């Protein structure tokens, strides 16, 4: 089973709204990721959680706030977004066993976000 699930599939929000994106995996993976993908562009890394701790923040604006409540769940809280934040937001997870020299990331289906 290499399934990563994301909810909602689609989200439309205004610039003053607060919303959250959710990601879940039950593969026992200990690393989880948020990516942003604009149309016709490759995914760009936003955040990485390793063992439920934030390990990488790629200089993402504070209007995006990640949270990892436990090893299976990853949230992305959104507040005061701009229209240019409209994109496909992808979650991924990887095994990240200690001693592994490489680590394959498996992606969820994404949430297509539109900011009006």
Partner 1 sequence: EDKVVQSPLSLVVHEGDTVTLNCSYEVTNFRSLLWYKQEKKAPTFLFMLTSSGIEKKSGRLSSILDKKELFSILNITATQTGDSAIYLCAVEEGAQKLVFGQGTRLTINP
The residues of the shown chain that bind partner 1, judged by CB under 8 A, are: 2, 4, 31, 33, 41-45, 48, 50, 55-56, 88, 90, 94, 96, 101-110
Least distance to partner 1, CB of residue 33, Å: 7
What is the Cα–Cα distance from 20 to 44, expressed in whole angstroms?
Answer: 19
Rounded Cα distance, 104 and 6, in Å = 19
Tokens for 19?
């919303």
- Residue (18 or 103) nearer to partner 1, CB: 103
Measured from the CB atom, is 73 or 96 closer to partner 1? 96
Select from 46, 56, 36, 44 the least CA-distant residue to 96: 56
If one counts every other C-beta atom within 10 angstroms of the C-beta of residue 86, the result is 17
16/59 with CB nearer partner 1: 59
CB of 31 to partner 1, least distance (A): 6
């Amino acid at each position: 089973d290499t399934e990563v699930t994301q909810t909602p599939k689609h989200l439309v929000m205004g610039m003053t709204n607060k919303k959250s994106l959710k990601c879940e995996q039950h593969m026992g993976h200990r690393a989880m990721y948020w990516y942003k993908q604009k149309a016709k562009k490759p995914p760009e890394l936003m955040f990485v959680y390793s063992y439920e701790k934030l390990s990488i923040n790629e200089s993402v604006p504070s209007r995006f706030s990640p949270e990892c409540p436990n090893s299976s769940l990853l949230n992305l809280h959104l507040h005061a977004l701009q229209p240019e934040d409209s994109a496909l937001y992808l979650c991924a997870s990887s095994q990240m066993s200690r001693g592994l020299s490489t680590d394959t990331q498996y992606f969820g289906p994404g949430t297509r976000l539109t900011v009006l």
